[in-house]
Structure formats: C-alpha cells, structure tokens
Amino acid sequence: MLRLTLDMDDVLANTHEKLVNIVLSDFSTTLNKEDFEKKGLRELLHPKQLSRLHKIMDTPGFFADIEVKEGAIETVSKLSSYYNIFVATACMEFPTSFNDKFAWLRKHFPFIPWTNIVFCGYKSIIHSDYLIDDHVRNLHAFDGQGILFTAPHNLRETAYKRVSTWSDVSELFLHIV
Amino acid sequence: MLRLTLDMDDVLANTHEKLVNIVLSDFSTTLNKEDFEKKGLRELLHPKQLSRLHKIMDTPGFFADIEVKEGAIETVSKLSSYYNIFVATACMEFPTSFNDKFAWLRKHFPFIPWTNIVFCGYKSIIHSDYLIDDHVRNLHAFDGQGILFTAPHNLRETAYKRVSTWSDVSELFLHIV
C-alpha cells in the first residue's frame, strides 16, 4: 500500500481561519477578512503582532478546538482504504500543543491509528510516497512526491502540484489508485 | 551529512533501570536485579504486573527524571559534528509523556535542535541513513541501516549489528566517517 502523509495545520485543520478570527476580533487592525485570503499572516502583520499571535498559539487549548477543513474527514476515511495514511505535524515549536493536537486527531480522525501520527520539526525525516502540506519549505525538504495544499501564504508558488480543497485531494488520489 | 537517528528509551535514557527499580521496590516479586539483566520485563512479569507498570509509565512525570545512559551525552555531542542527529521516540502509546520527553531532551541534549526531535508510533516513517534502537520491530520497519542497542529483551537477537554501550556507538560511528 502506498503511503500518504498529511500535514495537520491548514490541511486537515483550519488553523488559518482561527488565527484570522483572533486578529480581526482582538487586534487593532485596518485589515479585513478578504486581505487575509490573499496573503499570509507573516506578510500582513507587524512583527509585534506576529509575536503576540505566537504567544496565543503557545497557550494550552489553542489547538484543541480548531475546525476541521470541509470534506477532510470523509475524504481521509475513503482514502484510508487505498493508502496507508500518516499525519505529520510540526509541533515542537509549540510544545504545549502536543496533547491538544493528539486529542484533536483522535477525536476527529479516530480511524487513523495512533501508530501513524508523527510529531516532528523538519519534514525531511518523513519516509512516505506522498506528502500533502501547505508549506513549500516542508515539501522541499521531503523526499517523496509533494503536493501543495492551497493557503493564503502559498498562492504564488508554482513548483508543486496543487490541491485547493479536499474534493481536489479526493479526485487526485482516487484517480491515482 | 549522513543522518543518524537515535531512539530515546533504553538508548539515550535508562528507562529499563527505572522500571526495574520500581518493580523491585514496590511490587511483590521473588525476582532479583540479576534476573532483569537477562530477560525483558514482558518475559518476566505477569500480565497484571505489566498492566500496573503500564499505568505507572502513563503518569505525568514518569519520563521526566530518567537517568541518561553512561557516555550518551558526550558521544552524541561528538557525533553531531559528523552526523545530522535526530531523535525518534515512540510516545503515542503514552500521550502524557510528550511534555516530559521533550523537556528531558532539551535538558540533557540541548545541542540537538528541536527541529530534529520526532515523536512517532511506527519507526517505518523515519527517513534516515542509520537508526540505533533497542527494539528489533523498529529496526525491521526501518528503511536504512539499523543498529541494535543491547537491552535485556534483545539479548538473543542476531539479525542486526549490535552496540552495547555508548563507547561502542562512538567507536562504530567515528570509524565510519
């Protein structure tokens, strides 16, 4: 069975949306929701705002209640009949997120065995046939075939095959098998 | 730079010793320290005792104060000049151990960057040139060259190159480069 590895933030989980909602409701900003659909947070926010956001992300509970991306559960469930599904999420930057992320995955994706969950820093350590990720730096470090999941911070990237929704993922990977 | 991945329990950390001390002091048993040097815990203890030990391991704090194996810090520090060092530890079985294990590694091996720490279930997901591990099942699942670190539960294994101390590791890996 081919191995398909999925990133968590902004692939399975709508982390960007939660961050944008926090910025719009709690930060003093003239930016609006549409601005955040066109560019990444790093491009739009001041360093002090980014640092404030970083602290919020490093608070226990932040990753516990993030929304699942539309169609992710159904598609991953379907794909798990044809692929050996792994989840690889970089959470060493936020050590407080371990428990929240693990609980989140067990809750929303109980059909992915715990043996197939990986918490790592660099994705270069992942040995898999495919990796779906929203960060070009992760795909670049990865040895197999990388697929870019569309996010505001990667709209101008052209080096990787791109998917924008879980319906795209379904079509691409059910077509391969 | 070649990549060398190290297991944590019974490779960097003397987890077996802590478990044996708990059994000898808190469990009612006729076994002595020498018995635990010849066979693994799974072979020596009753299922009920194993289950009790499992519960103790799943308590926050258990992994926080384990002794570092003799020579591990000096050797890993030396090897990190010649190899890209990663640590891969299976802790999804004990989700409460995330924070303790991460803090333990940061405390004793601060020169291993957090980007190179991996928490995983199956070691088959690790993409590395070498893996040093005390479990044959992990080496078997691994794609690169596996090295077995001697532990009471693997004394009869013959399928892998074996190291028994960090001095052995030093000799083997400084000889390769």
pLDDT of residue A63: 95
Tell me what ipTM this predicted complex has. 0.89
CA distance B105 to B121: 18
* B86 and chain A in contact, CB less than 8 A: yes
Q: Contact, B5 vs B149, CB < 8 A?
A: no
* A117 and chain B in contact, CB less than 8 A: yes
Digit-coded pLDDT (tens) for B124-153: 999 999 999 999 999 999 999 999 999 999
Among B92, B88, B99, B93, CA closest to B132? B88
Average pLDDT, chain A: 95
DSSP, residue by residue, A5-57: EE-SBTTTB-HHHHHHHHHHHHS--S--TTHHHHS-HHHHS-HHHHHHHHHHH
pLDDT of residue A51: 95
Digit-coded pLDDT (tens) for A117-160: 999 988 999 999 999 999 999 999 999 999 999 999 999 999 99
Under 8 Å CB pairs connecting chains A and B tally to 80
Instruction: Give the closest of B95, B103, B128 to A102, CB-based.
Output: B95
pLDDT of residue B96: 82
* A125 and chain B in contact, CB less than 8 A: yes
Residue whose structure tokens are 């709209």: A155
CA distance B7 to B149: 9
Domains annotated for chain A, with CATH where assigned, are 3-14+67-176 (3.40.50.1000), 15-57 (no CATH)
CA angle B84, B109, A9 (to 5 degrees): 70
pLDDT of residue A177: 64
Residue B156 identity (one-letter amino acid): R
Mean pLDDT of the A66-80 span: 97
pLDDT of residue B92: 80
Contact between chains at A99 and B102 (C-beta distance less than 8 A): no
Residue A128 identity (one-letter amino acid): S
Among B109, B110, B117, B114, CA closest to B73? B109
Give the CA dihedral B88, B90, B92, B98, nearest 10 degrees.
-60
Mean pLDDT of the A49-74 span: 96
Mean pLDDT of the B157-167 span: 97
Among A66, A83, A80, CA closest to A110? A80
Digit-coded pLDDT (tens) for B48-80: 999 999 999 999 999 999 999 999 999 999 999
Instruction: Give the closest of A99, A119, A127 to B126, CB-based.
Output: A127
CA distance A7 to A120: 11
